Structure 1
């Protein structure tokens, strides 16, 4: 670029001519797009300036309106402020008045008590409690005065105004319950302690109950219908070893009831109602545990006979076993056992020969079990021959002086007797025997039966007369010389 004044060259970026000092004015080329953008920018800037101006104007108007309202309603605003301040002062005054009121009545009560007028003292506290129902101190004071006046019922009812309300803190409620319990302990009304602490849904009561009231006992087995003897066990559930009293007639247990010392046995058919309760050192009973039992023993269990039916060849004992508390009776004549039959006391010696036993178990009421039958056949090895049997018989008769000698001579009678083996028989319950008949032989040699028969045991040679019982069966008869 050249200086318009001196014509010298001017370096790019210089605004003055270095030679003559002339100011250089540079006029840019005209560009429509650039001019349009500039116009738009200037217009937007103007709008923004207008908005700010309007906002400032609006704030100014609001401030003006606010102070205009204050000027117009300053009296009402002042009255509202005064009312709020007055309300706060009233609440503070009321609280202060109530405190003074409670103290006031308690002071009057103390003065009346000091002068010996307990009724008037109680009256002051009752009035103070009416006017201050949420003041626990005056309630406790009134309860104490009732106790001093020997009016425990009124003292309890006073404390119940706390326990029955939800307006007091837990520690105050607990103190009230403790006071009620203390009163009942003094009056000996322990059952009422249980009643007061019966609300198991109340946590405070539940905690106190665990402290003062023993847990109910547990009775085993549970209520139900049973067969056979039932052994009932009663235990404490809190491991406190508190004494347990029980009844069997439906009455509520007391210390005059039956003291539980061991299992209770129910043996007779019927219905039983058993109630039990624990009592602690305070003399307070637990709630009653009650069970109902129906005993249907039915028929006793049949006895167990250890020796089965069969053949035996040696001495054997028959053993019978029954459940405890039952008795075994038996027969050997084929009849059914009754309580009039032979009683089994100890093992029975199995009879020699064939025998038939019937056993049955009986309870104390005469109820019988099913009958158990056994058939035995005991036969010993024959140790005695027929010849030995005859000789044993003759020797026995001589020893008893029935015969004079072994030849069979009979005193005062001509001729002699002879003894002849006839047969073998089995006598029930006695064993096997040789049958020997007696004949008398006259001097002419004629043999005539005398009608007497003898039985000699095939095992041991025992000698007996042989006869018949009323039913026509063989029976053994002891030999006698008379």
Structure 2
């Protein structure tokens, strides 16, 4: 055995060179069986590891039941939690809804919003609820009744509109009795009667008014239906009609159309012509109140030549 560095002769089994002190590397003898064993060891070791892991992962029957129970309990708790959460949400919404339902300001606000948007049908429930929260004569706030009257006018429910305005007057009289406010309410009532063509009730309402000062201011609003001196029907001779109205100026038409201030103003007796005459007459006063119309039909049928009588 020689040193690979200096070439000195060395004893077998030496680790260092005695001459140059070079460390010697001992190479073991080659054995083919060792290589085969080394090549097989990793495969066998891998198989053993996989089998061990498989055994560890394979649950024991008792452990499997325990895991199933735990999983079932988890889902039950989760479902219960969500159910409680949903119930709480429903309760919260119901509570808020009930709070709004019983809140006068909220109901009145919603009613106003619907009125401003011209959603009169939708405004009714809110305004009715607002009024019910006040009571008939408590609180003294008549705005819900005023708005209800306006909504009913727009919905062509004139009787209900009139009832609401009358209730507003009663509430104001019972709670505050403010003469100025009462006067305003009566004037609004006059306009409502004119708008809904119920002016035939004006005289009755004025007579029922208990406040002399207000009653005096309502007198110019009086209006009554015109009257005619001849009953409607069929005539075989010339007919002239005389109309009278205690309040206001009379306007009329003979074709059945509704009279206005632009129609014929009555100033002298009306001469009817042969055939059918559809008289429609109203009285209009200085306050613009229009009376209930007088409507009558006259038919003139001549069995002889009326011109001959005129010549005679």
Q: TM-score, normalised by structure 2?
A: 0.42
Q: Which structure features the higher share of helix residues?
A: 2
Structure with max Cα Rg: 1
